[in-house]
């Protein structure tokens, strides 16, 4: 279905391109002379418009003439049409790596450099030679004499790494969140690119620029800058909504800026501002992560990424079970995003942020802010910009963790024979060649909450043990979903370019998915009937107690944690163990298993 949508976009783009590209056609004219007149008129109009564009382009940068609002608008319109038309016609779904290939520069640069060339000729009064114009490909950024006229960086701007920020002066909503250096193309050769995670209009996003800031010294505020034209690439899973998660891609120039004191100390910029108008002073400054100088020497085995928490999320027990069980499964880190969060859950997360798994260099949990994404969930953008979060987490984890799992709080990938996920992956590597494996896919199994609790819950030693969903719910749908449908995956982030919810959209060249056989591991998904109602409990089911492998350790760890946090975070009392040991005769009679409450 998604592919169909893309094709229709593509056709639409083609139509748009054709309309914009040609000077009309005068098909409607009947008389030959009338037709000739009309053609002549159209040609004149075309040149008039073109002249106007050139003029406004000059006014835009040249401050001698002041800014020209109308002109800027016309320019913006032209640019948008031209660039997006080009991008979409060339390849609606073209991978990033090709997008930054040399042949693509020719296409994009053609239009871009023509403008820059005109600018430079007109504004270089000092008679400066414009050497780089000879080869447009050697000019992937604004020339220095233009750059030096652009607004400088306001040193008091906060340096952010995870905050939704406005790109100002855009006609449609345009937000940016985080920025990552990515030099994986061409086997690490070449200057690489800066990948900004953002959100904006799904179709025809506006033209923006990346102002790249290079620190001049190891300390202090002095910066040199380079400005490049950005490519806005819509993240594929957009559900046809008005806005979607995007990558704003800033191709780095081949050479970093030269200053009077020589080249900048680090060829990769420190921070970036995304602007829609070159003359507008940058309103934010985003830290560029994953620079080679910042990458740790060794990776920890496994991290988990969870989509933004919303609806005042406050299911404390679910949260604790999720973190504690993933620790047992071999993860050392969980990334969460705070859209809206209840008081108690927030308190529990803060506590986890101050702890680390044994031997880990990272906090057990990181909570990143997710508010100020001023888009209406489901109506304007899919589930709180879920795909921006997934891809932010992918890049954030890339050089810190060998493997990353993308899961919701009601999902667990449970190995059938191995204790931990890294052990399972190692074992798979002995069975089949996993050299080119970028992701491991696990089939979904629903453990519907409407099915009754496992009888052994009554033998629970503690209320915490009895509350654990992975021990209470052991009945699951016999039939698993096929891979890619509701499946989840664990990936090697370095081999992934674009992460989706149920599968990887784009791998680094030469990598793919391994469908993990259900005998080795499946995805346990604890939820109510997916189509509403209670009819799903009539489907064929079996009892699956694989998760009991962790039962004892999990119950002990959750009990310890709950006891520690109970007072600090004002956690509620847990329900007692149902129909507990014979001594507790006053407990109320058992309800029929099929009408157990869906969740606590
Ligand atoms: C720089 O930013 C600060 C606060 O963000 C603001 O108060 C100040 O006016 C800005 N300075 C300039 C020169 O724009
Ligand atoms: C972003 O800009 C819009 C208008 O351009 C404004 O209404 C909104 O408050 C801004 N949001 C933030 C977080 O600055
Ligand atoms: C850097 O900028 C900040 C904020 O404007 C200022 O307080 C600080 O003194 C500056 N540092 C240097 C070394 O100039
Ligand atoms: C989550 O975000 C809200 C703002 O939306 C903030 O008030 C709250 O303190 C945050 N919670 C935590 C635990 O940081
Ligand atoms: C993982 O499971 C397989 C299959 O049962 C087993 O042969 C292997 O020894 C296990 N590896 C570890 C480290 O437990």
Encode pLDDT of 361-370 as tens digits.
999 999 999 9
Query: Could you identify the atom of ligand 5 that is nearest to the CA of residue 424?
Result: 1
What does the pLDDT read at residue 187? 82
CA distance 129 to 243: 44
Question: For tokens 């080679």, what's the residue?
Answer: 292
Burial class (CB in 10 A: 0-12, 13-18, 19+), 15: exposed
Cβ-proximal residues to 318 (8 Å cutoff; 6+ apart), any chain: 409, 410, 469
Ligand 4 first shell, C-beta below 6 A: 338, 340-341, 346, 349-350, 367, 371
Residue having the nearest C-alpha atom to atom 13 of ligand 5: 423
Residue having the nearest C-alpha atom to atom 12 of ligand 2: 166
Residue count of the chain, please give it.
600
Our mutation pick for probing the ligand 4 site, out of 312, 337, 346, 352, counting the most ligand atoms within 8 A of Cβ, is 346
**Do residues 25 and 43 lie in contact, with contact meaning Cβ atoms separated by under 8 Å?**
no
Burial readout 18-42 (b: 16 or more C-beta within 10 A, e: otherwise):
eeeeeeeeeeeeeeeeeeeebeeee
Count of Cβ atoms closer than 10 Å to residue 343 Cβ? 11
User: How far away, in angstroms, is 211 Cα from ligand 3 center?
Assistant: 20
Domain 300-568 has CATH 2.60.120: no
Is the Cα torsion angle 376, 378, 383, 388 positive or negative in sign?
A: negative
Beta carbon of 545 within 6 Å of any ligand 2 atom: no
Count of CA atoms in the C-beta half-sphere (13 A) of 536:
20
Ligand nearest to the CA of 341: 4
What does the pLDDT read at residue 296? 97
Token readout for 434 is: 């996993």
- CA dist 446 to 132, 343, 502, 544, Å? 61, 30, 15, 11
DSSP assignment of 11-80, as one string? Answer: HHHHHHHHHHHS----TT--SHHHHHHHHHHHHHHHHHHHHHHHHHHHHHH-GGG---HHHHHHHHHHHH
User: How far away, in angstroms, is 156 Cα from ligand 2 center?
Assistant: 20
Residue having the nearest C-alpha atom to atom 4 of ligand 2: 168
Ligand nearest to the CA of 215: 3
User: How far away, in angstroms, is 368 Cα from ligand 4 center?
Assistant: 9
Cβ-proximal residues to 316 (8 Å cutoff; 6+ apart), any chain: 344, 345, 348, 569, 571, 572
Beta carbon of 485 within 6 Å of any ligand 1 atom: no
What does the pLDDT read at residue 457? 93
- Strands 401-406 and 488-491, bridge-based pairing: antiparallel
Total H helices, total E strands in the chain: 13, 26
At 242, give phi and psi (nearest 5°). Answer: -65, -40
Our mutation pick for probing the ligand 1 site, out of 153, 156, 163, 165, counting the most ligand atoms within 8 A of Cβ, is 156
User: How far away, in angstroms, is 157 Cα from ligand 1 center?
Assistant: 7
- CA dist 388 to 206, 246, 347, 384, Å? 18, 7, 25, 9
What does the pLDDT read at residue 260? 76
What does the pLDDT read at residue 139? 52
User: How far away, in angstroms, is 431 Cα from ligand 5 center?
Assistant: 11
**Do residues 466 and 575 lie in contact, with contact meaning Cβ atoms separated by under 8 Å?**
yes
**Do residues 203 and 359 lie in contact, with contact meaning Cβ atoms separated by under 8 Å?**
no
Mean pLDDT in order along the chain per 10 residues (600 residues): 42 38 41 66 70 54 31 28 30 40 31 38 38 41 86 93 94 94 89 95 89 86 89 83 92 86 87 94 96 96 96 95 98 97 97 97 97 80 87 98 98 98 97 95 97 94 95 97 97 97 95 97 96 93 97 97 96 86 46 39
CA distance 190 to 181: 13
User: How far away, in angstroms, is 282 Cα from ligand 2 center?
Assistant: 14
Cβ-proximal residues to 81 (8 Å cutoff; 6+ apart), any chain: 16, 20
The distance between the two most distant Cα atoms of the chain, rounded to a whole number of Å, is 105
Ligand nearest to the CA of 367: 4
Closest CA to 348 of 558, 525, 544: 558
What does the pLDDT read at residue 246? 94
Ligand nearest to the CA of 218: 3
Percent of the chain that is helix, strand, coil (3-state, to 5): 35, 25, 40
Helices (H), 522-599: 551-568
User: How far away, in angstroms, is 338 Cα from ligand 4 center?
Assistant: 6
Ligand 5 first shell, C-beta below 6 A: 417-418, 423, 427
C-alpha dihedral, 156 to 158 to 159 to 161, nearest 10°: -170
Beta carbon of 156 within 6 Å of any ligand 1 atom: yes
């Amino acid at each position: 279905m998604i592919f169909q949508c893309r094709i229709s976009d593509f056709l639409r783009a083609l139509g748009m391109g054709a309309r914009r590209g040609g000077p009309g056609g005068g098909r409607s004219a009947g008389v030959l002379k009338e037709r000739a007149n009309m053609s002549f008129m159209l040609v004149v109009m075309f040149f008039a418009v073109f002249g106007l564009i050139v003029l406004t382009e000059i006014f835009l940068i040249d401050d001698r003439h002041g800014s020209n609002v109308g002109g800027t608008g016309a320019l913006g319109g032209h640019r948008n049409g031209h660039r997006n038309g080009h991008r979409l016609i060339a390849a609606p779904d073209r991978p990033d790596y090709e997008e930054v290939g040399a042949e693509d520069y020719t296409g994009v640069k053609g239009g871009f450099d023509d403008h820059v060339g005109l600018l430079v000729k007109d504004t270089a009064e000092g008679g400066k030679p414009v050497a780089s114009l000879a080869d447009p490909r050697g000019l992937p950024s604004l020339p220095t004499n233009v750059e030096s006229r652009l607004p400088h960086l306001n040193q008091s701007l906060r340096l952010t790494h995870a905050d939704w920020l406005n790109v100002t002066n855009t006609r449609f909503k345009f937000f940016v969140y985080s920025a990552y250096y990515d030099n994986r193309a061409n086997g690490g050769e070449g200057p690489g690119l800066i990948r900004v995670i953002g959100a904006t209009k799904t179709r025809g996003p506006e033209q923006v620029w990346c102002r790249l800031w290079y620190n001049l010294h190891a300390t202090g505020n002095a910066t040199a800058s380079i400005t490049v034209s950005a490519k806005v690439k819509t993240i594929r899973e957009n559900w046809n909504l008005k806005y979607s998660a995007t990558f704003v891609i800033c191709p780095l120039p081949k050479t970093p800026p030269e200053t009077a004191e020589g080249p900048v100390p680090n060829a990769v910029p420190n921070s970036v501002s995304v602007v829609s108008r070159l003359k507008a002073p940058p309103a934010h400054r985003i830290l560029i992560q994953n620079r080679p100088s910042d990458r740790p020497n060794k990776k920890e085995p496994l991290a988990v990424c969870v989509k933004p928490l919303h609806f005042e999320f406050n299911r404390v027990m679910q949260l604790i079970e999720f973190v504690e069980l993933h620790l047992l499964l071999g993860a050392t880190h969980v990334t969460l995003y705070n859209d809206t969060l209840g008081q108690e859950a927030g308190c529990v997360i803060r506590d986890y942020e101050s702890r680390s798994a044994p031997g880990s260099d990272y906090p057990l949990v990181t909570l990143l802010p997710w508010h100020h994404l001023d888009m209406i969930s489901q109506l304007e953008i899919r589930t709180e910009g879920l795909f921006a979060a997934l891809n932010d987490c992918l890049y954030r984890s890339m050089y810190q963790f060998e493997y990353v799992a993308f899961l919701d709080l009601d999902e667990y990938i449970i190995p059938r024979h191995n204790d931990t996920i890294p052990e399972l992956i190692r074992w798979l590597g002995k069975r089949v060649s996993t050299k080119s494996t970028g992701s491991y896919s696990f089939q979904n199994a629903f453990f519907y909450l409407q099915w009754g609790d496992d009888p052994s819950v009554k033998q629970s030693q503690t209320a915490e043990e009895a509350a654990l969903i992975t021990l209470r719910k052991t009945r699951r749908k016999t039939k698993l979903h096929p891979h890619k449908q509701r499946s989840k995956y664990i990936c090697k982030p370095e081999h992934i370019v674009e992460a989706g919810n149920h599968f990887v959209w784009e791998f680094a060249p030469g990598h793919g998915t391994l469908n993990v056989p259900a005998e080795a591991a499946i995805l346990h998904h604890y939820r109510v009937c997916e189509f509403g109602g209670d009819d799903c409990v009539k489907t064929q089911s079996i009892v699956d107690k694989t998760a009991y492998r962790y039962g004892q350790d999990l119950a002990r760890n959750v009990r310890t944690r709950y006891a520690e946090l109970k007072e600090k975070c004002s956690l509620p009392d847990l329900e007692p163990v149902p129909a507990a040991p014979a001594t507790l005769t006053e407990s109320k009679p058992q309800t029929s298993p099929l009408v157990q409450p869906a969740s606590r």
